[in-house]
């Protein structure tokens, strides 16, 4: 039986262990080719890459846009915009149940997106990829579904570097079940304290949930060590990869993490779409997170049985266009190369660190030895909101506030920081513009 026939037959496709086979009609949803040559060391053509993003042709306050708020959301290349528009213009239909051509084409494109995300993350199977609204929903899904097995006294270990989305769901789970939340502290540089982590692990540890990269400081956590130690205590590990997937190569099979979450809008894809990777055996052991259409095998008034994973966790009509746009974003970053992106951003981060450190009154918050894409800082005597407002007048977009990391701000004794976060299209000239903007802030307010 062809894959198309399987998709027409029921609510959820069958997922081969190694790959998803697609009918030729899936080729009508192009990969979103950029025309970019693969990047090589010292051959990163950032100006050509920038040309793929329409927003950079738009002035901000009569100035060229300097966009340094990528940790909040990224800009979208034309290939992603076109992929979403093409779906709504020529192939809009619901997925998995229709027997007509548009339904088949939409289903093929949606499942092709799942296969591309599997490839991006290095997952072994396409059915280990669950589409959700974003990393936040992915973490809540695990907290609700996997968390139903928790008992009083069970322990959940997180770090002080976490986004609120990787704190609050575990707090609520602890309140519901009587579990206990344990927090790994960080040092004055924002480094994860591995010795403290070892001390917190024990026979009662039921889950470890940590960021791959801190959204507030850019610290890269030592995942290999974290995961190996947790598994030594038979504890699964959830990784919040929202700030890592756009910037670093990720291989969930090599990491051996049990869950991995990221958001499409941070990896140059649409908003409202995200991914939960979970090991197949774990997902298969978990009850549904939400119920409704598309996640059932059969319904009777006496009893309902549920679809296999991943459809069990995708109740209702999903964000089909979002998944298709995410697939185009995956093609875009893979064509450039995540290793090349990481090298470019690392060089840019080094340059930005040097430039900002030379400005009188600027104090960097978070100076870990392993960092990615983020500079968080304060300017003595000036509130970060005022810094951001004056930078905005210069056409420079940064983020100010606690960055959904209030416990981390408390650790460093500041209410807020200004955060400049980098993307694959940022340049040294933009870092120079940021430095000049901060000099102007100092002149005006200090």
Same domain? For 240 and 133 the reply is yes
Using alpha carbons only, how large is the chain's radius of gyration in Å? 22
Residue tagged 């262990």 (tokens): 17
Q: Where is the domain boundary, 335, 358, 387?
A: 335
Other CB atoms closer than 10 Å to residue 1's CB: what's the count?
7
Strand ranges, E, within 348-408? 362-364, 374-379, 396-397, 399-401
Residue at 127 is within a domain: yes
pLDDT, greater one: 13 or 117: 117
* Same structural domain, 118 and 206: yes
Tokens representing 313 are 């966790």
The 10s digit of each residue's pLDDT in 215-248 is: 999 999 999 999 999 999 999 999 999 999 999 9
Rounded mean pLDDT of 304-328? 97
Clarify whether residues 114 and 263 are in a common domain: yes
In 3D space, the residue among 165, 62, 128 whose CA is nearest the CA of residue 310 turns out to be 128
**Any domain includes 63:** no
The token pair that represents 20 in the structure block: 């998803």
Residue 400 CB neighbours (<10 A): 19
Q: Is 120 in the same domain as 193?
A: yes
What element of type H or E holds 261? Answer: strand 259-263
96 domain-assigned: no
d(CA 401, CA 221): 23
Q: How far apart are CA 262 and CA 257, in angstroms?
A: 14
Q: Distances from the Cα of 82 to the Cαs of 33, 52, 85, 271, 424, in angstroms?
A: 11, 12, 5, 15, 20
Q: How do residues 340-349 score in pLDDT, each as one tens digit?
A: 999 999 999 9
**161 burial level (CB within 10 Å; 0-12, 13-18, 19+):** buried
Spatial separation of the C-alpha atoms in residues 154 and 175, rounded to whole Å: 12
Shared-domain flag, residues 324 and 355: no
Average model confidence (pLDDT) across the chain: 92
Contacts of 419 (CB under 8 A, 6+ apart): 69, 71, 216, 374, 375, 376, 377, 398, 399, 400, 403
- Predicted local distance difference test score (pLDDT) of residue 97: 86
Q: What's the domain range around 197?
A: 108-335
pLDDT bin (cut points 50, 70, 90) of residue 4 is: very low
Same domain flag for 197 and 273: yes
Place of tokens 């694959």: 424
Query: Token digits for 54?
Result: 């329409």
Same-domain status, 282 and 175: yes
How far apart, in Å, are the Cα atoms of 403 and each of 218, 408, 416, 420?
12, 9, 8, 11
pLDDT of residue 15: 52
Q: Same structural domain for residues 210 and 266?
A: yes
For residue 191, how many other CB atoms are within 10 A of its CB? 19
Same domain, 142 and 268: yes
Contact 424, 441 (CB under 8 A): no
Task: From 335, 351, 374, give the residue that closes a domain.
Answer: 335
Same domain, yes or no: 290 and 366: no
* CATH number of 430's domain: 3.90.1150.10
Strand order in the sheet with 362-364: 362-364, 374-379, 417-421, 399-401
What one-character DSSP code corresponds to residue 422? Answer: -
Cα-flanking dihedrals φ and ψ of residue 405, to 5°? Answer: -145, 55
E strand intervals along 62-105? 66-67
**CATH number of domain containing 146:** 3.40.640.10
Q: Is residue 175 included in any domain, yes or no?
A: yes
Domain-terminating residue out of 335, 351, 375: 335
- pLDDT per residue as tens digits for the range 149-182: 999 999 999 999 999 999 999 999 999 999 999 9
Q: What is the mean pLDDT of residues 236-263?
A: 98
Domains contained in the chain, number: 2
Could you tell me which residues come within 8 angstroms of residue 383 by beta carbon, excluding any fewer than 6 positions away?
A: 416
**Where in the sequence numbering do the catalytic residues fall?**
404
- Calpha distance 100→98 (Å, rounded): 6
Q: Tell me the pLDDT tens digit for each residue of 381-418.
A: 999 999 999 999 999 999 999 999 999 999 999 999 99
Assess contact for 98 and 104: CB atoms under 8 A: yes
303 and 330 in a single domain? The answer is: yes
Distance, CA of 383 to CA of 385 (rounded, Å):
5
DSSP state of 307: P
Q: How far apart are CA 355 and CA 333, in angstroms?
A: 28
One domain for residues 331 and 344: no
pLDDT at 28 exceeding the cut of 50: no
The predicted-structure confidence for 124-157, as pLDDT tens digits, reads as follows: 999 999 999 999 999 999 999 999 999 999 999 9
Q: Which pLDDT score, from 0 to 100, does residue 43 have?
A: 81
Beta strands in 127-256 (DSSP E): 129-132, 155-159, 180-184, 205-211, 237-240
């Amino acid at each position: 039986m062809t894959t198309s026939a399987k998709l027409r037959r029921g609510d959820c496709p069958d997922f081969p262990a190694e790959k998803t086979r697609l009918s030729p009609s899936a080729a009508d949803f192009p990969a979103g080719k950029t025309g970019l040559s693969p990047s090589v060391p010292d051959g990163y053509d950032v100006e050509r890459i920038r040309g793929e993003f329409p927003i950079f042709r738009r002035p901000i306050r009569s100035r060229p846009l300097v966009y340094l708020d990528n940790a909040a959301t990224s800009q979208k290349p034309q290939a992603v915009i076109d992929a979403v528009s093409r779906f709504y213009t020529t192939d809009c239909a619901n997925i998995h149940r229709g027997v007509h051509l548009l339904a088949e084409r939409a289903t093929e494109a949606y499942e092709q997106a799942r296969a591309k995300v599997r490839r991006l993350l290095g997952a072994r199977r396409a059915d280990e990829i669950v589409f959700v609204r974003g990393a936040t929903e992915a973490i809540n899904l695990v907290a609700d579904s996997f968390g139903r097995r928790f008992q009083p006294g069970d322990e959940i270990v997180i770090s002080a570097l976490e986004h609120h989305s990787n704190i609050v769901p575990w707090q609520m789970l602890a309140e519901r079940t009587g579990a206990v939340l344990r927090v790994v502290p960080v040092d004055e540089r924002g480094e994860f304290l591995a010795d403290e982590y070892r001390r917190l692990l024990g026979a009662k540890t039921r889950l470890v949930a940590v960021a791959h990269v801190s959204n507030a400081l850019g610290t890269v956590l030592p995942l290999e060590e974290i995961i190996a130690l947790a598994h030594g205590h038979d504890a699964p590990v959830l990784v919040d990869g929202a700030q890592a997937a756009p910037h670093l190569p990720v291989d969930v099979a090599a990491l051996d993490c049990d869950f991995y979450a990221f958001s499409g809008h941070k990896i140059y894809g649409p908003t409202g779409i995200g991914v939960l990777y979970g090991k197949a055996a774990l997902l298969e052991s978990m009850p549904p997170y939400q119920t409704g259409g598309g996640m059932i095998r059969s319904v009777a008034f006496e009893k309902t049985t549920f679809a296999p994973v991943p459809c069990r966790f995708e109740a209702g009509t999903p964000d089909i266009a979002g998944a298709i746009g995410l697939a185009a974003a995956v093609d875009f970053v893979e064509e450039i190369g995540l290793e090349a992106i990481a090298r470019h951003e690392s060089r840019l981060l080094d340059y930005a660190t040097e430039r900002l450190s030379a400005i009188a009154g600027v104090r960097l918050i978070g100076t870990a030895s392993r960092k990615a894409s983020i500079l968080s800082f304060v300017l003595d005597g000036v509130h970060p909101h005022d810094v951001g407002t004056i930078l905005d007048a210069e056409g420079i977009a940064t983020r100010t506030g606690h960055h959904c990391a209030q416990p981390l701000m408390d650790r460093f004794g500041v209410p807020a920081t200004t955060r400049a976060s980098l993307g694959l299209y940022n340049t040294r000239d933009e870092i120079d513009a940021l430095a000049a903007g901060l000099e102007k802030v100092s002149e005006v307010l200090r």
